[in-house]
Structure 1
């Protein structure tokens, strides 16, 4: 079985601002580019990826889209546009018509960093998300337990827009089971237009002592909530390197899915990312 990685990043602190790369995250303040990524993919048997924005500026998305014109490995870009701006729709169209623009599959915003837990329900954001729907694009929900209620209301407000929850909404694994997270995820998953990524869990656990067993209850809850039809694997590389290598993250994901059928594992590890993001020239079953 080949694998599609539905969530990784590339960055270069020399050309953009990454204010979160301080403290324990400061070790990530170096360039991670395609040359760093490709050996990881080859070692893990990953055939295609979706790269996800990190900086809240259009320039990063323009760069990532242009990169897609020079590689066949990255098949889609989850970019950024200012969803609160009056010209948000025009920003989206600019990205779509530039070099590699056909690879824009969706947008993301760092909602968990916003002071307002109901930021997703702003009127201007609502208008921008309708523009996404009209263009057949998607929206990544970068949220935590705090924002699950707003995300639920948003998903009901936009039933035609495909949403995906990044990192399982960041369950506080290192602190222990949190019922508010579990209940919020279950409620959000009742919306058929919401999917979820099995990604980023190792960095929510103890960076130095996590084991796959620590992740298992959270993976099982996500499977119960979304089923194998709406879950997709993501490495969250290179952020994952705070706690685990690329191959360790994939090994943990594979172990957590052992109870599933071959078809269910294929959905999570390959097909669902392509069904959800619908990148150009790629469809479920293509990545053989």
Structure 2
């Protein structure tokens, strides 16, 4: 039995659901990011990208502290749809070892991913940010994307130490950031846009429009938001200060650049 408010995502979602979700927004193309820690899901996402023009890239999963991670990545690239693999992510949040991303094998894997032309997505909460900073320091030639602004404790209205750690992470030019996933860190379904302003303002100040991109976190965002369009509207509200050019960067060009997408 599904409980604890998880009912909105307790099913499989497909690209028909995606097209229905983005209808009425200006979103036309998307990058799929893995949701589970299985190789099978990444293969499935690559198949979807190969067959559906709505999808322009995939960020797949690897266990980066495994000695076999690069061999597995090569299998992804050789698989059907492998050319759509543009990034890799591992789940570093809530692990018993908050230093996971700074482990020598994890660093070696990410360095090699960079040599393969792949981006690395950072999925952390505040406790893992120091290790993420160490990873970035060790990988100056890798393009990083911070997911979900590192999931600050918005529901508790906590800014520190997240704020200081974000400033340090953003000091590295090879790190971009997705404004995404925030609704799930707020009070589900009763949040208001003002709840996110201190966090979004700091992210914008730290990274600048040149290194920010929109992320929907759909369908996971449905746990805390009514729809995809509500998440889009929230991002628009939090970035009203952007110029027309900065909006082009935020909604399109920065993602294409970070993930090296040339085919639309």
| Same fold by TM-score greater than 0.5 | yes
Name the TM-score, length of structure 1 as normaliser: 0.88
- Following TM superposition, by how much is the alpha carbon of 1:22 offset from its aligned partner in structure 2, in angstroms? 5.9
- Following TM superposition, by how much is the alpha carbon of 1:214 offset from its aligned partner in structure 2, in angstroms? 1.2
The aligned residue for residue 97 of structure 1 is 78
Q: Does 1:54 align with 2:35?
A: yes
Q: Does 1:186 align with 2:172?
A: no
Q: CA RMSD in A?
A: 1.3
The aligned residue for residue 121 of structure 2 is 140
The aligned residue for residue 157 of structure 1 is 138
The aligned residue for residue 213 of structure 2 is 232
CA contact (8 A) 2:124 2:151 kept: yes
- Following TM superposition, by how much is the alpha carbon of 1:280 offset from its aligned partner in structure 2, in angstroms? 4.2
Query: Secondary structure at 1:206's aligned position in 2?
Result: coil
Aligned residue among 227, 250, 255 for 2:232: 250
Cα distance in 2 for residues equivalent to 1:180 and 1:22: 32
The aligned residue for residue 270 of structure 1 is 252
- Following TM superposition, by how much is the alpha carbon of 1:177 offset from its aligned partner in structure 2, in angstroms? 3.2
Cα distance in 2 for residues equivalent to 1:205 and 1:32: 24
- Following TM superposition, by how much is the alpha carbon of 1:66 offset from its aligned partner in structure 2, in angstroms? 0.8
Aligned residue among 135, 155, 158 for 1:177: 158
- Following TM superposition, by how much is the alpha carbon of 1:85 offset from its aligned partner in structure 2, in angstroms? 2.3
In structure 1, stretches of 5+ residues that fail to align are: 1-20, 283-288
Cα distance in 2 for residues equivalent to 1:176 and 1:251: 22
* 1:22-101 equivalence runs, <5 A: 23-101=4-82
C-alpha distance after superposition, 1:203-251 (max 9, x if no partner): 1111131111111221111000000011100111111111211111101
CA contact (8 A) 2:149 2:180 kept: yes
CA contact (8 A) 1:103 1:280 kept: no
4+ runs of 1 displaced by more than 6 Å? Answer: none
Q: Highest relative contact order (Cα 8 Å, sep 6+), 1 or 2?
A: 1
The aligned residue for residue 120 of structure 1 is 101
Cα distance in 1 for residues equivalent to 2:101 and 2:184: 25
Cα distance in 1 for residues equivalent to 2:121 and 2:6: 22
Task: Decide which moves more: 160-169 or 33-42.
Answer: 33-42
CA contact (8 A) 2:21 2:229 kept: yes
C-alpha distance after superposition, 1:157-183 (max 9, x if no partner): 100001111100011111013220111
CA contact (8 A) 1:44 1:247 kept: yes
